[in-house]
Amino acid sequence: MESGWGGVDKVKSQGGFAENLKVPKDDEIIIKILDDQPFASYREHWVQETKASRKTYTCLGAEECPLCVTLGHQTSAKIMFNVADMSSSDPTVKVWSMGTRLAEKLKTLAQKPRTKPLNREDLYWAVSKSGKGTSTEYNLEPVKADDLDDWGIEPLEDDELDDLMEQRSDQSIIKWDSVEDLEELVEEIL
């Protein structure tokens, strides 16, 4: 962390973090999946026991992670894809962060002739969800580029797609804390 105006410039030059994709409830959005497989998968702790506003901590692995080792604290899986959100006239790259259930669904689709690879050029997806909390169900329906018209959406031009591909996030967006920092956090909780 850095204080003063220098810090602002530094943060700015590192580029903005991609926004997370939010699938609205009981509505459908069109996306294009930009990766043929997740660009990152890890486990995360949701820590509610401190007064800090920050709640999420990347798990360092069951052997090493003080939250796991000392507290036996629960983790949940985070699996991430880059997608283009087609819902505005100016499609933007977003990170679709999901749990294992949805990821398994995508894995199955990634193996089917009709929907592989997930980022195939002519392939878009209509995504909706229902239910809430742990019972949230995602519905994914493949949409061919030619059928986008039904949603009033134009397929991406080659150069638009190239541009979006360049804005994809990679594993560097995952925040890692040191063992020492997580030990301090554990101290705070105990």
- Residues lying near Zn ion in the complex (CB under 5 A): 59, 65, 67-68
Cis peptide upstream of residue 24 (ω within 30 degrees of 0):
no
CB of 52 to Zn ion, least distance (A): 17
In the complex, minimum distance from the CB of residue 100 to Zn ion, in angstroms, rounded to a whole number = 16
For Zn ion, which is the closer residue by CB, 34 or 59? 59
How far is 33 from 48, CA to CA, in rounded Å?
33
| Nearest residue (CB) to Zn ion, 68 versus 118 | 68
CA distance 54 to 39: 24
User: In whole angstroms, how close is the CB of 8 to Zn ion at the nearest point?
Assistant: 32
Nearer to Zn ion, 26 or 63 (CB): 63
Cα-to-chain-centroid distance, residue 75: 16
**What minimum distance in Å lies between the beta carbon of 63 and Zn ion?**
9
The 8-class DSSP code of residue 1 comes to -
Residue 51 CB, shortest distance to Zn ion, in Å, is 21
Maximum Cα–Cα distance across the chain: 58
Min CB(65)–Zn ion separation in Å: 3
Which bin fits 111, alpha (ψ -120 to 50), beta or left (φ > 0)?
alpha
Residue 46 vs 131, nearer CB to Zn ion: 46
- Looking at beta carbons only, is 36 or 176 nearer to Zn ion? 176
DSSP state letters, 116-179: -STT-TTEEEEEEEES-GGG-EEEEEEEEGGGGGGGT-PPPPHHHHHHHHHT---GGGS----H
User: Given the complex with Zn ion, which of 65 and 86 has the nearer CB atom?
Assistant: 65
Residues 27 and 128 sit within 8 Å (Cβ to Cβ): yes
